[in-house]
Amino acid sequence: MPTVHFTDSEGTTRDIDANPGDSVMETAVRNGVPGIVAECGGSLSCATCHVFVDENQLDELDPMSEMEDEMLYGTTEDREDNSRLSCQLKVTDATDLRVTTPESQV
Ligand code: FES
């Protein structure tokens, strides 16, 4: 089963079974994972679903769109090279993804 490993800013990790076709953000929200606000519900207009992706896994992800790239300049915690918006990360059958949530989203 696809899995997303969410680590919070204090280092606690939650391993969550995910459904193919869902986004990483939806996986977090449905499972009550703290640290993902997702105010806009996934319509790429809030940047409160910011995550830091394990740097060794960046190549496994689809490239970000121009819009996602622009939105990442509006995150509360400064973007890093491994920043992504989790509503834009799709879960597939092969997903075994490690992400860290920022200390604050708003
Ligand atoms: S949930 Fe709003 S941009 Fe991702």
Residue 55: the pLDDT is 98
* Ligand 1 nearest atom to the CA of residue 86, by list position: 4
Pocket of ligand 1 (CB under 6 A): 25, 38-40, 42, 44-49, 71, 85, 87
- Identify the H or E element spanning 67: helix 66-71
pTM value is 0.97
Selected from 3.40.630.10, 2.40.50.180, 3.10.20.30, 3.30.460.10, the CATH number assigned to the domain covering 3-100 reads: 3.10.20.30
The residue type of 96 is D
Which protein residue has the closest C-alpha to ligand 1 atom 3?
44
What band does 56 get if pLDDT is binned at 50, 70 and 90? Answer: very high
**Is residue 97 within 8 Å of 55, Cβ to Cβ?**
no
Ligand 1 centroid to 23 CA: how many Å?
11
